[in-house]
Amino acid sequence: MRILFFFFGIFFLSFPLSAQTPYQFTEVIDLETTPVISQGRTGTCWSFSTSSFLESEIMRRTGKQIDLSEMYTVRNIYPLKAENFVMRQGKAQFSEGGLAHDVINSVAMYGLVPNEAYSGLFPSEENHNHAELIAVLEAMVKTYVENPGRSLSSTWKKAVASVLDVYLGKNPETFTYEGKQYTPKTFLTMTTLEPSDYVTITSFAHAPFYSEFILNIPDNWSNGSMYNVPLDEMISIVDHALEQGFSVELDCDVSERTFSSKDGVAVVPKDSENNIKALQGIYPEAVVTQEFRQQEFENYSTTDDHLMHITGMLRDQNGTKYYKVKNSWGTDESRNANGGYVYFSEAYMRLKAISIMVHKDAVPKNTSKKLNF
């Protein structure tokens, strides 16, 4: 509405201040977790976020705060990716990306180590940068697929392992932590984590609900299966987990203009003309149904491009629910608000969450019964 003001015999046409109200958040749930760190110039958010998730699980179970090695997992997963790519004759994904179940699979096979025992950095390095490493590995596996010698060398796996040793370091067989000696397997035992306790849950209408299926997304190179539930139920699982003291691993789409680490929020405005303005203040949000979610996934508007860690819940001044989501892009205030956390509105979560991972005890009993675990 425009308003006319009369002042000293002259009419002035005035435009009201914007209806936008700056965000004011109140924390409802804030679960214990380790500090926000940076994945550097790597595409290994899957390892950073899931390691953070497991660190919170260790704290929940034992009270111990342990900085786990993200790069130990990365080092163990790359040979599996290479074998998958070569054995499928190049008809598979080979990239830095992955999913949370890749970390769980690595933990089950190779155990865990603390970051102090294997950082993936050499003394002269402070930040992770895998640009050269991934370029070298991609060139190698593509060469093996092309097979220029017409007989694939039996030593190609050793060659891949050697490159990883050069760039990341050799895997530790034993190490000392807090005065005790461990192997990766005995260290896993000390943490009390049980890899089989963790389940991945999603919500898509092209597969039967309350069943397991393989979600065909590029980074699911290992063909991990997920439990499928209706959208309302997936959101209820997240809420129930947080309320019961369980944090949640998240695979999501952050390519939207309405996701901003710099502003610290992720929202779905009802009117797209408010996309940028909604990063600074409250605007009405879209109603996200199962059908709309499916449509946006099938037309590639929703893609799986980042993994993060849900550690809490908030409300804005209107009572709207948000999720406190830990990122792995560091804490530089010029690029990351909220100390490196992003506050996801429920609408954004409903639309852009590809899948979640939780401890199976975090799933409400009525849902776990339907899923038979």
CA angle 276, 352, 247 (to 5 degrees): 110
In a domain, 298, yes or no: yes
Assign residue 284 the CATH number of its domain: 3.90.70.10
Q: Report, as an integer, the average pLDDT of 149-161.
A: 94
In a domain, 51, yes or no: yes
The count of domains in the chain is 1
The residues, ordered by sequence, that sit 6+ positions from 263 with a Cβ below 8 Å of its Cβ are 279, 280, 337
What DSSP letter does each residue of 53-102 carry, written as one string? HHHHHHHHHH-----B-HHHHHHHHHHHHHHHHHHTTT-S--SS---HHH
* Domain membership of residue 210 as a residue range: 18-371
| Residue 266 and residue 323 in contact, taking contact as beta carbons nearer than 8 Å | no
In a domain, 357, yes or no: yes
Cα dihedral sign for 274, 346, 324, 231?
negative
In a domain, 12, yes or no: no
Strand partners, 265: 260, 343
Question: Cα separation of 138 and 360, whole Å?
Answer: 36
Question: Cα separation of 96 and 307, whole Å?
Answer: 13
Question: Cα separation of 185 and 108, whole Å?
Answer: 9
Q: What pLDDT, on a 0 to 100 scale, did the predictor assign at position 3?
A: 37
pTM summary value: 0.93
In a domain, 2, yes or no: no
Question: Cα separation of 45 and 40, whole Å?
Answer: 10
E strands of 234-359, at which residues? 248-252, 259-260, 265-266, 281-282, 306-315, 321-326, 341-345, 353-359
Question: Cα separation of 1 and 280, whole Å?
Answer: 22
Question: Cα separation of 265 and 257, whole Å?
Answer: 11
Question: Cα separation of 143 and 135, whole Å?
Answer: 12
Asked if pLDDT for residue 1 goes beyond 50, the answer is no
Cα dihedral sign for 174, 180, 184, 189?
positive
Cβ-based neighbour number of residue 123 at 10 Å: 6
Q: What pLDDT, on a 0 to 100 scale, did the predictor assign at position 20?
A: 80
Q: Residue 357 burial by CB count (10 A; 0-12/13-18/19+): exposed, middle or buried?
A: buried
Q: What pLDDT, on a 0 to 100 scale, did the predictor assign at position 238?
A: 98
Q: Report, as an integer, the average pLDDT of 156-177.
A: 98
Question: Cα separation of 62 and 217, whole Å?
Answer: 35
Q: What pLDDT, on a 0 to 100 scale, did the predictor assign at position 9?
A: 42
Q: What pLDDT, on a 0 to 100 scale, did the predictor assign at position 19?
A: 54
Question: Cα separation of 251 and 226, whole Å?
Answer: 12
- Residue 266 token pair: 């992720």
Q: Report, as an integer, the average pLDDT of 3-12.
A: 39
Q: What pLDDT, on a 0 to 100 scale, did the predictor assign at position 14?
A: 39
In a domain, 345, yes or no: yes
Q: What pLDDT, on a 0 to 100 scale, did the predictor assign at position 119?
A: 98
Asked if pLDDT for residue 6 goes beyond 50, the answer is no
Question: Cα separation of 321 and 268, whole Å?
Answer: 13
In a domain, 80, yes or no: yes
Q: Report, as an integer, the average pLDDT of 143-168.
A: 95
Question: Cα separation of 153 and 256, whole Å?
Answer: 44
| Residue 250 and residue 309 in contact, taking contact as beta carbons nearer than 8 Å | yes
In a domain, 91, yes or no: yes
Strand partners, 208: none
- Residue 347 token pair: 């609408």
> 13-55, pLDDT tens digit by residue?
433 334 588 999 999 999 999 999 999 999 999 999 999 999 9
Cα dihedral sign for 184, 186, 192, 198?
positive
Cβ-based neighbour number of residue 297 at 10 Å: 22
> 77-100, pLDDT tens digit by residue?
999 999 999 999 999 999 999 999
Q: Is 127 helix (H, G, I), strand (E, B) or coil?
A: coil
Q: Is 260 helix (H, G, I), strand (E, B) or coil?
A: strand
Q: Report, as an integer, the average pLDDT of 251-262.
A: 97
Residue 364: HSE in the Cβ half-sphere, 13 Å Cα cutoff: 14
Pairing of strands 225-228, 198-202: parallel
Question: Cα separation of 185 and 331, whole Å?
Answer: 32
> 297-338, pLDDT tens digit by residue?
999 999 999 999 999 999 999 999 999 999 999 999 999 999
Longest distance between any two alpha carbons in the chain, whole Å: 94
